[in-house]
Amino acid sequence: NFAKIMSEAIENRNAEVKAKKEAKNAYKSRYESRKRANYEAPSSELSEEKKACLENFVRIKRKKSVILLGYSGKNYYGMQRNPDVQTVEEELLSAMLKHNWITADAYKLPQSIGFQRAARTDKGVSAVRQLVSLKLPLDLNVAALNSDLPREIRVFAVKTVTQGFNSKNDCMARTYTYTLPTIALSNHAGKEASMDTYRVPMDILQRFRCLLKVFEGTKNHHNFTIKKEYLDPSSNRYILSFTCDDPFVIDGVEFAVLRVKGQSFMMHQIRKMIGLTLSIIRGHSDSKVLEAAFSAVKMNIPRAPGLGLVLDTLHYDRYNRRYGSDGIHTPLLWDEYEEEIQKFIREEIHPIITGTEIKDKPILEWLEYLSTHDFSDKLTEDTESNDE
């Protein structure tokens, strides 16, 4: 009896499997028939819309690529695309759509082509070597694209990269510069010193450089951004170097360039680092405040204006070591474009920064605000007038 029951069960199971297989084959046959009918239908039987789509359809081969670009951020609400405001990405995407670098669908949803910026620069912040990774066609005309971009935005080069490359995640470090009139280092109120005649004394400059070096290393920067807590692991940031170049004079006004290199930066971080350092060097705060800022004590740190901040260099050392000499890809180094980059800096970046400072003197207005800044006033943390 047991053998008979098992035999019947096996026969029933085999019958079920056979029935499912026949049903699947029947469905597949009907699907293939409909598919052939669609493809083999005479053009007269197709709708006008479908015929137009078939006639215009051309499959374009795309590869993961990077775009190297620079821009003056004075008139833009940052790099990242935002509705109802002027952004660098909106200008770039619009130009790429016009020149068929991307499709209309990709313009609406850039994530569909892997669009990723290396660094998000905020309102008023410029960049000279920003990088965007995305899928692009192979045959591109950079000069034609630039002709439809505003003069303050410039694409320097396009390179193909590995399929898994991400301009943000694969970036090992970022270098920013900050250009400011040296009168910001004066311990006088702005109205008591003239930008045209002030020259920073060497001892003040050396002390300023020493204060900048305090930021180097891994420290908790929860006070140098917004909406971060001391115990949040992401508040810890590694600063490789923070320096100040020797001053130079333009149209009678002395300027200095600060350079900070770090693994990554949070919103407002660099501007707040500079704001606190200037507050100390001008005598509004004690140097002990700098060390306290890295502790759990919550304080409201002033942030310097965004005008002088520039994303200078993105560092892809690990990628370059692994793929730069594999015979297929090229390292993400831009020496061959440096002359064009420097020309863009001279014409579109530095004149805007130094020219605005010389003409409108926004730094003096900010220094006046700095003298009255309350480090304990948490209510103004997100509502300062010098917004990014």
Choose among 33, 95, 98: nearest CA to 67. Answer: 95
Residue 201 has, within 13 A of its CA and on its CB side, a CA count of: 7
Alpha-carbon distance of 100 to 112, in angstroms, equals 16
> Comparing C-alpha atoms, which of 76, 183, 172 is closest to residue 119?
172
Place of tokens 């035999």: 7
* CA atoms within a 13 Å half-sphere pointing along the CA-CB vector of 379: 0
Question: Judging by DSSP bridges, how do beta strands 248-250 and 309-315 pair with one another?
Answer: unpaired
Q: Residue 255 has which token pair?
A: 């300027």
Whether 312 sits among the annotated catalytic residues: the reply is no
**Distance between start and end Cα atoms, the chain:** 85
201: its two tokens: 């004394």
Is 369 labelled a binding residue? no
**Helical ranges in the chain per DSSP H:** 2-40, 48-56, 88-98, 104-108, 142-147, 202-213, 269-281, 288-293, 317-323, 338-344, 350-360, 362-370
In the set 105, 122, 246, 387, the catalytic residue is 122
Query: Which residue's structure tokens are 């079920």?
Result: 16
Separation CA 30–CA 302 (nearest Å):
70
State the binding site: 176
Question: What positions carry a catalytic annotation?
Answer: 122
State the binding site for substrate: 176
